[in-house]
Amino acid sequence: MVKKNIDSEALYKEVARLMADRKQCVALTGAGVSAESGIPTFRSKGGLWEKYDPIEFASIEAFRKDPSKYWSLRGEFIKDYDRYQPNKAHLALAELEHVGIVRCVITQNIDGLHKKAGSKNVIEIHGNLMEIICLVCGKGYKAPHIPDGMPPHCSCGGILKPNTVLFGEELPVGVFMKAKEESASCRIMLLVGTSAIVQPAASLPYLAKQNGAKIIEINIEKAFPEADYFIIEKAGTALPRIVAEVNKFSHE
Ligand SMILES: [Zn+2]
């Protein structure tokens, strides 16, 4: 059987034209975006959760019982974190925000690379691994400037917790509310490097679509059948190509 040759150049042109026309674009990103920066997923083969039980070390229940257990493994979580740099996908999204097309990035990643790449309006729905928060007074600390101690304590005496969503923990209400508002009011949603099957983030593309947004999926495998456009490609390849097409329009 002869497979129909999809004209990818036409697809990129059409997607870029749609983005340039509609603007008000929200990007929902996941692990696939950070993979190209070399960040391993804890769940993948050889990842941290093959060695350690996540429920024992990184669940909210375990943390409440004995926070030092999480802190004893903290070094493994953040190993090499200073070394990781934003890749072409992060930079392209920052560029698209800069030219007024992307309005907001909603990310499931906790590595902070979107901000590092220059994106300004970033909603980190699972938090940020380098941010630490006091469970008593809410004071924030930023790694590596964390008080000593096992577990470390805030200047007020409260126990410090990573500002990430642990297993079994609810997403912060305000943060997720903001993500829902952005999704319900955008005109385009880019799904990038995420299978978007884990709730509650999985509800966001549906929310966007119900409110009239077009969905553009950029993934190495199709994951969201309801998308209007599929670009089956690595994010670090596809997004710079979109930026290049968008730039052509602005010079016409
Ligand atoms: Zn405190």
Q: Ligand 1: distance of its center to the CA of 158 in Å? A: 5
For residues 123 and 69, the model is more confident at: 123
200: pLDDT confidence band, cut at 50, 70 and 90?
confident
Which residues are CB-contacts of 78 (< 8 A; sequence separation ≥ 6)?
Answer: 129, 130, 143
- Give tens-digit pLDDT for 148-161: 888 999 999 999 99
- Give tens-digit pLDDT for 161-173: 999 999 888 888 8
Lowest mean pLDDT among 39-43, 114-118, 169-173: 39-43
CATH placement of domain 41-83+129-164: 3.30.1600.10
Distance, CA of 172 to CA of 95 (rounded, Å): 28
DSSP lists the bridge partners of residue 161 as 133
**Residue 4 pLDDT greater than 60, yes or no:** no
**Residue 44 pLDDT greater than 50, yes or no:** yes
Q: Supply the residues annotated as catalytic.
A: 126
pLDDT at 5: 45
Name the E strands within the chain. Answer: 25-29, 102-107, 122-124, 127-134, 140-142, 160-164, 188-192, 214-219, 229-232
**Residue entry with tokens 């008080």:** 147
Task: Tell me if the pTM is above 0.85.
Answer: yes
**Short-list 85, 1, 4, CA closest to 38:** 85
Q: Ligand 1: distance of its center to the CA of 229 in Å? A: 47
* Burial of 198: CB neighbours in 10 Å, binned 0-12, 13-18, 19+: exposed
CATH placement of domain 1-39+85-126+170-252: 3.40.50.1220
Lowest mean pLDDT among 6-15, 24-33, 83-92, 217-226: 6-15
- Give tens-digit pLDDT for 47-60: 677 778 878 878 89
Distance, CA of 213 to CA of 138 (rounded, Å): 36
Residue 200's SS3 state is coil
Q: Ligand 1: distance of its center to the CA of 240 in Å? A: 43
- Domain limits, the chain: 1-39+85-126+170-252, 41-83+129-164
Mean pLDDT of the 79-106 span: 93
pLDDT above 90 covers what percent of the chain?
64
Q: Ligand 1: distance of its center to the CA of 185 in Å? A: 36
pLDDT at 3: 41
Distance, CA of 103 to CA of 94 (rounded, Å): 10
Cβ atoms within 10 A of the Cβ of 1, count? 3
DSSP lists the bridge partners of residue 218 as 192, 231
Q: Which amino acid is at 248?
A: K
**Residue 206 pLDDT greater than 60, yes or no:** yes
CB 160 within 8 A of CB 133: yes
Q: Ligand 1: distance of its center to the CA of 142 in Å? A: 14
Name the E strands within 7-118. Answer: 25-29, 102-107
**Residue 114 pLDDT greater than 90, yes or no:** yes
- Give tens-digit pLDDT for 15-30: 999 999 999 999 999 9
Mean pLDDT of the 201-220 span: 94
43: pLDDT confidence band, cut at 50, 70 and 90?
low
Q: Ligand 1: distance of its center to the CA of 135 in Å? A: 7
**Residue 78 pLDDT greater than 90, yes or no:** no
For residues 96 and 84, the model is more confident at: 96
Q: Ligand 1: distance of its center to the CA of 139 in Å? A: 5
pLDDT above 70 covers what percent of the chain?
94
Q: Ligand 1: distance of its center to the CA of 30 in Å? A: 31
Average pLDDT over the chain, rounded to whole?
89
**Short-list 168, 170, 162, CA closest to 142:** 162
pLDDT at 171: 87
Q: Ligand 1: distance of its center to the CA of 48 in Å? A: 30
Mean pLDDT of the 87-107 span: 97
**Residue entry with tokens 């749609």:** 18
Distance, CA of 38 to CA of 231 (rounded, Å): 22
